[in-house]
Amino acid sequence: MSMAANTVPSDLIRQLNPIFDASHTRDRRKSPPDSACFPGTRKVVIEGIISCVDTEIVLSKTPVVHIYWFHGFAGSGKSAVSLEIAKIYAESGRLLASYFFFGNAGDRSGMSRFAATLAAQMVAAVPATASFVEAALDADPGLLTEGVSLTVQLERLVYGPFQAALEQGLVLTKGPFLIVIDGLDECEDKQGVVDFIDHMFDFFKRHPSIPLRFFIASRVEEHIRSRLDSDGVHIGDLNSHSADKDIEMFLQASFQGAAVQDRVIKSYVQANGEWPTRPDMNELIRHIKGSFVLASMMFKSIVRPATEEDPSTPMDRLPLALEMNGLDDLYAQTLARSQNLPHLRTIIATIAFLIQPLPIVGIAKLLGIEAFEVVQVLLNLQAIVHVPGTDEQGDVTLFHRSLRDFLTTESRSGCFFVPPSFHLQLSYRLFSCLYEEKSLASRNCFRIHWYIFAYSDACDFINEIEQFKAQACQSLHDNRLPYHAFLCTLFFHSLSLSASKIAVDSSYLITDFQEF
């Protein structure tokens, strides 16, 4: 188990099996959030965070602050700041690890591989910790299995090895090391989040002098606020920092770039002078109200290429953009432009709900349509959806989580509302692909969507199943095997559901075989 202090065995990384697209080095277009600070922006915010994180530990009666909780509203730019902080500390050699949660993104949405991913990054950043991680895995070969608690994994794979390397003098510190956690509110395992926070507090209570800090960015959600709004935590409110100057800098540079690349805008500026005008720019900044996500989406919506469905110019769209009331209006208007295209609602619902994103050809295969039909819909949604450059490579993902929130709240999305029962449709489609050996994801995907549907409080379970059976029968042609196999599979899975969830015998799932 001996190893050079400056090398990391590849076998150890493979054994840990980290999520490589969860760190700050990921390809953001393929693995959102695709947020980065525009050059020259957020300087005051970032300097304040660094000053707090780098504060030396002083033996006094004042509680040591190991944790910086950074919160703000949706779209305010938290992930961009998190990325910048991670990059700064990585360049100085003091980033221990970074983890960017993202909803509906497979394992990145939960805690199952959280500790192992942090550990893998730690041994790469501080190779002296690797031997201690190896020792922990050798001592307990089942440490990475689902049966082991998150707190045990964190203690033995992250905190313990880091502490051991420090105690043996194997780590030269030029200041505290930092772990960056972004989007903690997007972790779907709320109990796991609570366990992580509680254990983090306990660790720092036991080791108050350890040169380690956590930077945690999230929305203010109760299960997080109730833990982090306490002594020993520095709280940073992004909403308290005016972003107007930074947004103005971003918009001016973006529109200037568009004037160079877009011949229509370039021709208009040559004939009419500055565009947008100073009054228009001021109104746009006022309208955006400090939301970097809204600023980015509105810019994309204004300068998007003309299409047959919408031949308007950017100059035509600017006044319309100023009439939008925040993100909800932007989402509604963007979707409305394509509402007459075939499969729009099914495609956007699939993108929003899939726990593992797919490329364009994958979405087409899943929905049983042609890839060009998916592309036709996506081309009009590029202001709110990431569209990869090719049909085969790169996943289609939402630009921001707030679009999923919009689609799943009927009072906000209206005719574009996606009910929880859509998870049942996805479960069936994923099962059918698996049955026909056109696997699009892991074998667990269809089960996960089934359980999300079954445990949703918003679902009338039996009524939704009956509606699904009626719709499925209408669309079936010659091959009914996948349909009946799916119902049989759900019958067995439903046996594990609580009695309070299903008040009748689950056998009604398999009462549809008369014509089989």
Asked if residue 64 and residue 202 are part of one domain, the reply reads yes
Asked if the structure places residue 69 within a domain, the reply is yes
pLDDT of the chain, 516 residues: tens digit per residue: 333 345 667 899 999 999 999 999 998 888 888 889 999 999 999 999 999 998 765 444 566 789 999 999 888 899 999 999 999 999 999 999 999 999 878 889 999 999 999 999 999 999 999 999 999 999 999 999 989 999 999 999 999 999 999 999 888 778 899 999 999 999 999 999 999 999 999 999 999 999 999 999 999 999 999 999 988 899 999 988 889 999 999 999 999 999 999 999 999 999 999 999 999 999 999 989 888 989 999 999 999 988 877 889 999 999 988 888 788 888 998 999 888 899 999 999 999 999 888 999 999 999 999 999 999 999 889 888 988 888 888 889 888 888 999 999 999 999 999 998 898 888 888 888 876 665 555 566 877 887 788 777 656 667 777 777 766 666 655 556 666 667 676 665 565 555 445 444 455 554 554 444
Asked if residue 70 and residue 203 are part of one domain, the reply reads yes
How many domains does the chain contain in total?
A: 4
Query: Comparing C-alpha atoms, which of 424, 415, 498, 493 is closest to residue 464?
Result: 424
Asked if the structure places residue 144 within a domain, the reply is yes
Asked if residue 249 and residue 234 are part of one domain, the reply reads no
Give SS3 for 419: coil
CATH number of the domain encompassing residue 363: 1.10.10
Asked if the structure places residue 151 within a domain, the reply is yes
| Angstrom distance (rounded) from CA 86 to CA 70 | 14
Asked if the structure places residue 191 within a domain, the reply is yes
Asked if residue 75 and residue 142 are part of one domain, the reply reads yes
Q: Strands 212-218 and 67-71: what pairing?
A: parallel
Q: What's at 199, amino acid-wise?
A: H
Domain boundary among 224, 240, 256: 240
CATH number of the domain encompassing residue 94: 3.40.50.300
Asked if residue 167 and residue 63 are part of one domain, the reply reads yes
Asked if residue 54 and residue 162 are part of one domain, the reply reads yes
Task: Supply the range of the domain harboring residue 373.
Answer: 325-397
Q: How many CA atoms lie within 13 A of 5 on its CB side?
A: 8
| Angstrom distance (rounded) from CA 215 to CA 82 | 8
Domain boundary among 214, 240, 266: 240
For residues 404 and 398, the answer to whether their CB atoms sit within 8 Å is yes
Asked if residue 252 and residue 137 are part of one domain, the reply reads no
Asked if residue 79 and residue 151 are part of one domain, the reply reads yes
Asked if the structure places residue 111 within a domain, the reply is yes
For residues 509 and 464, the answer to whether their CB atoms sit within 8 Å is no
Asked if residue 222 and residue 351 are part of one domain, the reply reads no
| Angstrom distance (rounded) from CA 189 to CA 160 | 24
Asked if the structure places residue 157 within a domain, the reply is yes
Asked if residue 354 and residue 284 are part of one domain, the reply reads no
Asked if residue 281 and residue 229 are part of one domain, the reply reads no
Asked if residue 213 and residue 274 are part of one domain, the reply reads no
Asked if the structure places residue 444 within a domain, the reply is yes
Domain boundary among 301, 324, 347: 324
Asked if the structure places residue 2 within a domain, the reply is no
